[in-house]
C-alpha cells in the first residue's frame, strides 16, 4: 500500500513538472491597463499575441476613473506595467508614477502633443461632435440645430443626450470647451438652461450615441469616432460641428516607473510606440497626432476644426467639476 502511495506521488509530481515545463516557455506576465473600447482592446490583444508568442501579455479593461484612482492609491506598486489610453489631464496629474521616456524620439509627433517631461506619449486625439438622428427630429417636427444657442430652444426638451462631465472624459471636454467659449460664469449658466432639455446625462461617453441609435433622442453630444463606427455599421446618423469648433482632447500611454526593467515591458511598449498606435489610427481613430500622418476611414470627417481647449489642466478639471451640479 505504501509503495502504491509513493508511486502515485511520483506520478503526480511528474505531471506537475510536465505542466510547469509546458507553461515555462512564457515569461512573467506583462499587464496593460487599458481604458479603450472593447473592440479596440481585442484588436490590440490579437496583435500582441502575434508579436510576442513567448510573453504572457494581458490587456485588462479599466475605466478611466478607476484607472486613475488605482494609480493614485497604489502608485508605482500597481500591478499594471503599462497604462494605455489615460486621458491627458489624469496623466499630467499622475505623471510622477511614470518612467521618463528619454530614449524615445518624439519628433514624429505634432509639436503641441509632445509633453515637456516625456513621462508619457500621446496615443490618440479624439473629438466630440453634435450627432443627429434626423429621423427623430423630423418626427418631432423640429429643425436641425445650427448653434449651441439653438440647443436651448424649448422644442428640444427631452431630445438631447450628453455624457456627465463627472463620469465621462467626453462629457468633461464638452464642458471645458463651453467654458472656454463663453467664460466660466456664462458657461455654467448655459448648462443650467441646457439641462432643461437633456433627457439624461449618461455615465459613459458612448451613452449619447447609443441613445441616438435606439431613437431615444434626436441630438447627442458625443464622440466623433463612435458616431462614425455606428454609421459604418448602418445607422442613419449625421455628424455636425458648430462654428466654434469641436471639443477635443488626447489620451496617453506610459510605462509605470519601476516596471521598465521587467522582462518584455520595454519591448511591448516600443511595439505600441513604433507600430500599434499608428495601426489604431488606420483602423479606428484617424485624427492626427503625427506630423505626416495620412489616415482615413470611411465617413470620418476630414480637416476637423478643433475648438479652444486651452488651460486643460488637472487643477482646472478639479475646479470645474467641483462646480458641476447635474
Q: Per residue in 133-183, pLDDT tens?
A: 999 999 999 999 999 999 999 999 999 999 999 988 899 999 999 999 999
In the prediction, which pLDDT does 168 show? 85
Which stretches of 127-223 are DSSP H helices?
134-140, 169-182, 184-194, 207-213
Name the residue among 115, 114, 108, 111 with its Cα closest to residue 274: 108
DSSP H or E stretch at residue 286: none
Q: Which of these ranges, 60-64, 69-73, 202-206, has the smallest mean pLDDT? A: 202-206
Sign of the C-alpha dihedral, residues 314, 244, 301, 109?
negative
Q: Please give the distance of CA 321 from its chain centroid, rounded to a whole number.
A: 19
In the prediction, which pLDDT does 124 show? 96
Q: How confident is the model at residue 236 (pLDDT cuts 50, 70, 90)?
A: very high
Q: How confident is the model at residue 23 (pLDDT cuts 50, 70, 90)?
A: very low
Q: Which three cell numbers stand for residue 132?
A: 443627429
88-134 per-position pLDDT tens digit? 999 999 999 999 999 999 999 999 999 999 999 999 999 999 999 99
In the prediction, which pLDDT does 203 show? 86
CB atoms within 10 A of CB 150: 16
| Pairing relationship of beta strands 82-87 and 248-255 according to DSSP bridges | antiparallel
Q: How confident is the model at residue 22 (pLDDT cuts 50, 70, 90)?
A: very low
Q: How confident is the model at residue 21 (pLDDT cuts 50, 70, 90)?
A: very low
- In this prediction the pTM is 0.84
Amino acid at each position: 500500500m505504501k509503495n502504491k502511495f509513493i508511486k502515485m506521488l511520483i506520478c503526480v509530481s511528474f505531471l506537475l513538472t510536465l505542466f510547469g515545463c509546458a507553461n515555462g516557455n512564457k515569461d512573467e506576465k506583462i499587464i496593460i491597463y487599458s481604458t479603450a473600447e472593447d473592440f479596440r482592446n481585442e484588436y490590440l490583444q490579437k496583435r500582441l499575441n502575434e508579436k510576442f508568442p513567448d510573453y504572457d501579455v494581458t490587456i485588462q479593461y479599466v475605466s478611466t476613473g478607476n484607472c486613475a484612482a488605482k494609480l493614485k492609491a497604489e502608485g508605482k506598486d500597481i500591478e499594471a506595467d503599462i497604462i494605455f489610453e489615460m486621458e491627458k489631464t489624469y496623466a499630467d496629474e499622475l505623471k510622477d508614477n511614470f518612467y521618463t521616456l528619454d530614449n524615445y524620439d518624439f519628433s514624429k509627433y505634432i509639436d503641441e502633443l509632445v509633453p515637456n517631461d516625456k513621462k508619457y506619449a500621446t496615443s490618440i486625439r479624439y473629438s466630440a461632435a453634435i450627432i443627429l438622428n434626423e429621423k427623430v427630429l423630423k418626427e418631432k417636427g423640429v429643425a436641425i440645430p445650427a448653434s449651441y444657442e439653438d440647443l436651448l430652444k424649448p422644442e428640444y426638451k427631452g431630445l438631447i443626450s450628453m455624457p456627465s462631465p463627472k463620469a465621462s472624459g467626453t462629457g468633461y471636454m464638452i464642458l471645458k470647451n463651453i467654458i472656454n467659449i463663453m467664460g466660466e460664469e456664462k458657461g455654467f449658466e448655459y448648462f443650467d438652461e441646457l439641462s432643461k432639455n437633456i433627457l439624461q446625462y449618461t455615465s459613459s461617453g458612448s451613452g449619447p450615441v447609443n441613445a441616438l441609435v435606439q431613437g431615444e433622442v434626436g441630438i447627442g453630444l458625443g464622440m466623433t469616432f463612435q458616431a462614425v463606427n455606428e454609421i459604418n455599421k448602418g445607422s442613419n446618423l449625421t455628424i455636425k460641428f458648430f462654428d466654434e469648433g469641436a471639443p477635443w482632447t488626447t489620451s496617453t500611454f506610459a510605462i509605470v516607473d519601476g516596471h521598465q526593467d521587467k522582462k518584455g515591458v520595454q519591448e511591448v511598449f516600443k511595439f505600441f510606440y513604433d507600430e500599434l498606435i499608428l495601426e489604431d489610427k488606420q483602423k479606428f481613430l484617424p485624427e492626427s497626432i503625427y506630423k505626416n500622418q495620412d489616415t482615413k476611414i470611411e465617413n470620418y470627417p476630414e480637416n476637423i476644426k478643433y475648438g479652444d481647449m486651452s488651460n486643460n489642466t488637472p487643477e482646472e478639471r478639479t475646479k470645474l467639476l467641483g462646480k458641476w451640479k447635474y
